[in-house]
């Protein structure tokens, strides 16, 4: 009896160990009662919170400005937040979301069966929309695999597409191998790179909708009569969850034993949209508390500032008159109104709330030569340091094409009255020469025609005289 009991306990222990080594989305229990906790400082809101996550970042979704970072360039395993770029690439291929997809054997058996999935089977059919929602909402690994096969043909080729997309977005320390984030030693990213990926993803309205979905139901399929209700793992967007954060609009969480807990979210408050990434966090609940603390810190300390909302070049006329090389060198002699210097009055900067905006200086720089449609730039300085910049463009459509092709190595020709008169004279002389050549050619043609007519008359008269001397007999003739 003891031997059978020992055998049973051994089998049970092996099963439990094999289960925990695979990717899941569950919180790991804390082993000690002295586990560090997320700490905020409400009495000192300018002080950064203490977080549990080993790497984190908060980025402004509009400007890309980093407001907080901790080990943001250190390579980490992303786990299931990988699915953000998987769904983004699929959406960018403009697929018909109602298209039906049949689950392949590789999609079903190409993942660890103990990892997160929704229990699909080989040959089961569902729509691309179902695949996308299952991938983001429930973190279904087989659905991410199916999307990769659909878009890339196979997972290996899709991984190339993922890495190419990451490179296009400016990621420098990222390499993807799988579409679902199941562990691979060569599958890694950083908090900064992951923020860049999410920043690109939320530009897509369909992605925002999917990433912000609390629950989704997959209807019955060809292999089952039962529907599959799915619930998001991003508890910060679920009002019924204690980790709910009212300003969070969407996100994706992940977990593997090697990656630990990971989370990427986006939130918006008072028009300020931020992206938060936390990686390598010991405990699922701390990914939410860390993110919430970081959002609170940034919203309490940063705001948008619109330095050009009431700006006009006329108010800075004395400052720009002597520096306006473009106007003085190229366009003063043109027979039309001068170019219309224009700036984006909606240009904004993200600044600390303690910043004295009255001390932000505008430095107007106009170029010697136009580049594309940029005539110059306005730099914003605070305590001698540049904190922002925006281009000065041309608001005149008539001149846009003229200055748009000016190159740095091309000589700019001044349009003076003398050169205009000379050009007219050259055109008149060229016209006279062309007319003379045409008249000469026409005379030659007429003369040649007359000579041909005279030759023809002479030939006909000669033939007529010879016929009179001929004697005909039947069909023969003799001289």
pLDDT, tens digit, 9 for 90 and up, residues 60-92: 999 999 999 999 999 999 999 999 999 999 999
Q: How confident is the model at residue 35 (pLDDT cuts 50, 70, 90)?
A: confident
388 band by pLDDT with thresholds 50, 70 and 90: confident
Q: Where are the beta strands (DSSP E) in 383-429?
A: 385-394
The CATH code belonging to domain 38-302 is 3.40.710.10
Mean pLDDT of 31-59: 88
What average pLDDT does the chain have?
A: 83
CATH of domain 313-417: 2.60.410
pLDDT at position 204 is 97
Q: Which residue(s) pair with 350 in the sheet? A: 304
Residue 410, class by beta-carbon neighbours within 10 Å (0-12 exposed, 13-18 middle, 19+ buried)?
exposed
Residue 458: the pLDDT is 67
- Mean pLDDT (whole number) for 410-436: 70
Q: Are 247 and 268 in contact (CB under 8 A)?
A: yes
Q: Is the pLDDT of residue 367 over 50?
A: yes
Are the C-beta atoms of 54 and 71 separated by less than 8 Å? yes
Question: For a pLDDT cut of 90, what percent of the chain falls above it?
Answer: 57
Query: Do 299 and 270 meet the contact criterion of CB atoms below 8 Å apart?
Result: yes
H or E element: which one contains 106? helix 105-109
What are the two backbone dihedrals, phi and then psi, of residue 457, each rounded to the nearest 5 degrees? Answer: -65, -45
Phi first, then psi, for residue 51 (nearest 5°) are -115, 160
3-state SS, residue 228: strand
What is the rounded CA–CA span in Å between residue 383 and residue 367? 25
**E strand or H helix at 273, and its extent?**
strand 272-281
Sign of CA dihedral 134, 137, 142, 144: positive
Given a cut of 70, is residue 24 above it in pLDDT? no
In total, the chain counts a number of residues equal to 479
Going 412 to 418 to 424 to 430, the CA torsion angle's sign is: negative
CA distance 175 to 179: 11
pLDDT digits (tens, 9 = 90+) for 169-225: 999 999 999 999 999 999 999 999 999 999 999 999 999 999 999 999 999 999 999
State the catalytic residues: 80, 83, 139
DSSP, res 383: T
Q: Which residue has the higher pLDDT, 374 or 151?
A: 151
- Domain-wise residue ranges, the chain: 38-302, 313-417
Of residues 126 and 474, which shows the higher confidence score? Answer: 126
Q: Give the three-class secondary structure for 350.
A: strand
DSSP 189: B
pLDDT on residue 130: 98
- Decide which of 317 and 455 is more confident: 455
3-state secondary structure of 41: coil
Q: Return d(Cα 215, Cα 5) in angstroms, integer.
A: 43
* pLDDT of 396: 62
């Amino acid at each position: 009896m003891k031997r059978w009991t020992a055998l049973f306990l051994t089998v049970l222990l092996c099963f439990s160990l094999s289960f925990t080594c695979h990717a899941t989305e569950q919180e790991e229990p804390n082993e000690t009662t002295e586990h560090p906790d997320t700490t905020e400082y409400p009495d000192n809101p300018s002080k950064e919170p203490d977080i549990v996550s080993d790497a984190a970042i908060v980025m402004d979704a509009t400007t890309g400005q980093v407001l907080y970072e901790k080990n943001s360039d250190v390579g980490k395993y992303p786990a299931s937040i990988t699915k953000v770029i998987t769904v983004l690439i699929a959406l960018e291929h403009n697929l018909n979301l109602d298209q039906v997809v049949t689950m392949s054997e590789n999609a079903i058996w190409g993942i660890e069966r103990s990892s997160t999935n929704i229990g699909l089977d080989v040959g089961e059919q569902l729509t691309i929309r179902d695949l996308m929602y299952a991938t983001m909402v429930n973190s279904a690994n087989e659905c991410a695999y199916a999307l990769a096969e659909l878009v890339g043909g196979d997972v290996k080729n899709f991984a190339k597409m993922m890495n190419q997309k990451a490179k296009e977005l400016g990621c420098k320390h990222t390499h993807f191998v799988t579409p679902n984030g199941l562990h691979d030693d060569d599958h890694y990213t950083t908090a900064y790179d992951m923020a860049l990926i999410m920043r690109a993803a939320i530009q897509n309205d369909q992605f925002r909708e999917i990433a912000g979905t609390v629950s989704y139901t997959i209807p019955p399929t060809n292999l089952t009569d039962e529907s599959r209700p799915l619930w998001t793992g991003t508890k910060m967007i679920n009002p019924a969850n204690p980790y709910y954060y009212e300003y969070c609009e969407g996100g994706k969480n992940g977990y593997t034993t090697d990656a630990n807990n990971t989370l990427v979210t986006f939130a918006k408050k008072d028009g300020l949209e931020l992206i938060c990434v936390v990686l390598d966090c010991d405990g699922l609940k701390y990914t939410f508390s860390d993110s919430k603390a970081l959002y609170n810190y940034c919203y309490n300390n940063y705001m948008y500032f619109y330095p050009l909302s009431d700006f006009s070049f006329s108010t800075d006329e004395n400052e720009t008159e002597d520096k306006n090389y473009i106007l003085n060198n190229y366009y003063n002699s043109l027979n039309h109104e001068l170019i219309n210097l224009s700036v984006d009055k909606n240009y904004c900067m993200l600044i600390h709330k303690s910043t004295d905006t009255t001390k932000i200086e505008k430095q107007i720089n106009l170029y010697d030569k136009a580049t594309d449609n940029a005539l110059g730039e306005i730099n914003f300085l605070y305590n001698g340091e540049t904190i922002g910049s925006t281009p000065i463009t041309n608001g005149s459509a008539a001149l846009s094409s003229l200055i748009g092709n000016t190159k740095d190595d091309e000589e700019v020709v001044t349009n003076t009255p003398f050169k205009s008169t000379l050009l007219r004279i050259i055109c008149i002389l060229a016209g006279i020469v062309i007319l003379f050549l045409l008249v000469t050619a026409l005379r030659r043609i007429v003369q040649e025609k007359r000579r041909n007519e005279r030759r023809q008359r002479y030939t006909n008269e000669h033939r007529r005289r010879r016929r009179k001397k001929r004697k005909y007999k039947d069909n023969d003739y003799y001289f």
